[in-house]
Structure 1
């Protein structure tokens, strides 16, 4: 199978599961008997421990030939981990299984992104066109699983996760042709610690951690918040789907309309969208404003993520790609989001939807961090 098709399918299957997990897992946990405080703890702990899992996995991946076998193993373990939720739904079981699946499942993100980064160089892969199928599947999950939950019950949230992981395992057992090529010996993959010490990498991680971490409260509690404001599960699914549809349009136009932009302008645009979005969501739950806020997901996540991809695939040399991808996924998308989620439960109990304003405050330092150009600090001599 051609790499573009293989990766498109892998992104689609992974993000169908992720589109089930992010908006609806809190509802499944509530169905399983977890309290709001326990849900916040479980979601936050899961986000935090994924940092350990991602760094542990990616520290072992130093060459392109490692990518596919590791993806196969993690797909199998993820399937087994989520299937175990069927039989172990006590507080202890939810805690143990949450830790286990978050050590395994999220590591598939940097692995697939690292494979895409290799193919960007190797076969000039159109990243946006490939990645948008993941976003499309995310929307499909939002709509389909929302309806299943509403009509057939919350157990279908877990059923959907298991089915998507089973199909992903089957796909991972096939081989894209050509396989990701090895880097030249002179550009062997660097260790994560060495990549972290590169000029500019620390500032890049702080910027992306604040931008992506500010989404944590939205991911964990928007469904519960909007449900309590009277919106049905299917409407919530439509709102989530609308946000990801806007993201798809950004990815689809990446090469044609955004290809000339580097990391810094994309991250600046992401900052502006995130600030406006969180201010709106904290101020109102009127449907027309929710629609506008969800359209801003195109920038708050989409442009921010494309900025990160630019930095990793274009503005760092090949030896740093795997390490930088691991750091971005574990710190910016994992650890910081986990910490924010862990405190989101108590914050939501005290401030409700106004917690979105704290997310707006969280992204403000990014304006100062992006005041200086990134490029001169990103290039190695």
Structure 2
């Protein structure tokens, strides 16, 4: 009789996601307001955020590769979390341009480095129960929406200058949660045996990374111009805020339902549906922004275009990169998807906006997702013959 599966360390895994995305809930919408409150100009604010996205391209693969080579990968995660706190604390003591850029470089590097490493730890801990991933990740969405609402209310009353002091406890929460993270030493047959470039030579890996990149490019107009686009077509700030909140609420619901969807249909068929939904979503937002019911319906599609797509991607990348190679896979996914895809999407959306405002910007996003569809169909046709990728032999820590 087979032994029962060990109990899942649900709360130990979930706590990191809660604190990490809670910190992003303070950083993403309000950090520019803090910089503006210091009297810094638009050029410097843009440069600060360029460092955030730029390090997202470099930090995950570099940190993931170092962790993969190490016999103690959990030490890299904890060190990165502590360095995130220490670097961010520098914002408490500086208000000048060059020191802010220097502090941002350190903070952004380590903060962007640790999430893919933790994703790898989560997938390794789940093992064959990867379908349960979304029920753990949903706590990130909960932390994000709670902090966005609470900190917005607080900043309106005490001012944005207090933001670094308000964010620091959230980052400390991240560091503490890494101390609770379960260690998952690989089995002998999990130990990686090839390198990073060997992974990229696998056609399934290249296709999956290209899909993630293109879908992230599609989100560029949404993250940068959604609020401006709807405001230009007569929607109030309050209505736009409700639409943003609706998207996150649906995201939470879909994360909770995703395990059932993946258990029934696998990851590839739902991924195709998610990419198709993204094409429709960006096209409708660009074409009918004046319609509040249409915009509400498109925010409901956020559950597919973001939440379910993310759950599908995590399951597929977990199948391609197992054991010690999981950190390597997450580093590639975050570096090329969130990193390079985010930069291309943001810059491309800006160019399109200058050419034809919201209609052109969201058409650019829809086109990126449309290009991803045939790639996903090719992946669907080839995935059955795929085997897990290997990585490098472990090396002792210095």
TM-score, normalised to structure 2, is 0.84
1:244-263 maps to which residues of 2 (within 5 A)? 244-263=248-267
Aligned: 1:192 with 2:196: yes
Contact 1:199 1:378 in 2 (8 A): no
**2:4: which partner in 1?**
none
Instruction: Report the 3-state secondary structure (helix = DSSP H, G, I; strand = E; otherwise coil) of the residue aligned with 2:66.
Output: coil
Contact 1:43 1:220 in 2 (8 A): no
> How far apart, CA to CA, are the structure 1 residues paired with 2:28 and 2:331?
20
Q: 1:139 to 1:380 in 2, by over 3 A?
A: closer
**1:113: which partner in 2?**
119
* Aligned match for 1:305, one of 304, 307, 310: 310
**2:387: which partner in 1?**
379
Segments of 5+ residues of structure 1 without an aligned counterpart are none
Aligned: 1:370 with 2:376: yes
TM-score, normalised to structure 1, is 0.87
Contact 2:61 2:331 in 1 (8 A): yes
> How far apart, CA to CA, are the structure 2 residues paired with 1:75 and 1:239?
33
Report which stretch shifted further, 23-32 or 324-333. Answer: 23-32
1:163 shift after superposition = 2.0
* Aligned match for 2:336, one of 325, 331, 336: 331
> How far apart, CA to CA, are the structure 2 residues paired with 1:364 and 1:124?
28
1:147 shift after superposition = 2.0
Max radius of gyration: which structure?
2
Contact 1:50 1:330 in 2 (8 A): yes
Instruction: Report the 3-state secondary structure (helix = DSSP H, G, I; strand = E; otherwise coil) of the residue aligned with 2:156.
Output: helix
Contact 2:116 2:331 in 1 (8 A): yes
Per-residue deviation, residues 190-228 of structure 1 (Å, max 9, x unmatched): 432221122311111111101123223322444565567
Aligned: 1:95 with 2:107: no
1:328 shift after superposition = 0.5
Q: 1:81 to 1:237 in 2, by over 3 A?
A: farther
Q: Give aligned pairs, total.
A: 378
* Aligned match for 1:163, one of 166, 169, 183: 169
1:255 shift after superposition = 2.0
> How far apart, CA to CA, are the structure 2 residues paired with 1:359 and 1:173?
40
Contact 2:131 2:263 in 1 (8 A): no
* Aligned match for 1:55, one of 44, 61, 64: 61
Q: 1:53 to 1:142 in 2, by over 3 A?
A: same
> How far apart, CA to CA, are the structure 2 residues paired with 1:164 and 1:71?
17
1:342 shift after superposition = 4.0
Q: 1:134 to 1:231 in 2, by over 3 A?
A: same
**2:74: which partner in 1?**
68
* Aligned match for 1:80, one of 81, 86, 94: 86
1:15 shift after superposition = 0.8
Q: 1:332 to 1:80 in 2, by over 3 A?
A: same
1:1-381 maps to which residues of 2 (within 5 A)? 3-62=9-68, 66-121=72-127, 126-176=132-182, 179-185=183-189, 187-188=191-192, 190-223=194-227, 231-232=236-237, 236-283=240-287, 284=289, 286-318=291-323, 320-345=325-350, 347-348=352-353, 351-354=356-359, 355-372=361-378, 373-376=381-384, 378-379=386-387
Report which stretch shifted further, 360-369 or 145-154. Answer: 145-154
Contact 2:321 2:328 in 1 (8 A): no
Instruction: Report the 3-state secondary structure (helix = DSSP H, G, I; strand = E; otherwise coil) of the residue aligned with 1:59.
Output: helix
Segments of 5+ residues of structure 2 without an aligned counterpart are 1-6, 390-398
**2:3: which partner in 1?**
none
